[in-house]
């Protein structure tokens, strides 16, 4: 079950978004503009997330959904599998895009994906991004 954002959680995540990649930069802009932030405390196995998000990205490509950071995401999740550190997720909801931010247990940013909102896609459940 996610927890809704707090000023501390928002500030912590904003500090982690380096902005050197398009998804991170866009997510930071969304946070600065007041986008909603949901945070999960539960951890997920990076290998599971790599499989799940690999399938999601393939599906999003098939339906022609706009994404930002999908290639970086898969490379970064592959690296997270090698590091063997569980990941938690943050979802930033903006009117135009939703961002999934993956952080490790030390709250270090590992990966970020942006997906255009309003897809009407039942296979992409933003209420539980670990699926």
Closest Cα to residue 23, out of 86, 82, 85, 102? 102
Alpha-carbon torsion (19, 30, 38, 9), positive or negative: positive
In sequence order, the 6+-apart residues with CB closer than 8 A to the CB of 100 are 53, 89, 90, 91, 112, 113, 115, 129
**Tens place of pLDDT for every residue, the chain, 131 residues?**
556 667 788 888 888 887 789 999 999 999 999 999 988 878 889 999 999 999 999 998 898 888 999 989 999 999 889 988 888 888 899 888 999 999 887 778 888 999 988 754 444 444 555 44
Indicate the pairing of strand 109-116 with strand 97-104: antiparallel
Tell me what pLDDT residue 131 has: 45
Tell me what pLDDT residue 5 has: 67
Distance CA 129, CA 109 (A): 16
Tell me what pLDDT residue 1 has: 54
Tell me what pLDDT residue 4 has: 65
Closest Cα to residue 27, out of 88, 114, 129? 114
| Spatial contact of 123 and 131, defined as CB atoms under 8 Å apart | no
């Amino acid at each position: 079950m996610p927890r809704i954002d707090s000023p501390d959680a928002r500030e912590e995540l904003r500090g982690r978004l380096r902005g050197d990649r398009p998804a991170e930069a866009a997510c930071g802009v969304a946070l600065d503009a007041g986008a909603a932030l949901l945070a999960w405390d539960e951890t997920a196995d990076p290998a599971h997330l790599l499989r799940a998000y690999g399938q999601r990205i393939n599906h999003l490509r098939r339906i022609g959904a706009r994404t930002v950071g999908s290639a970086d995401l898969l490379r970064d999740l592959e690296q997270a599998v090698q590091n063997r550190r569980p990941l938690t997720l943050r979802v930033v909801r903006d009117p135009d895009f939703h961002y999934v931010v993956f952080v490790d247990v030390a709250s270090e940013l590992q990966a970020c994906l942006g997906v255009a909102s309003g897809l009407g896609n039942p296979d992409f459940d933003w209420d539980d991004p670990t699926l």
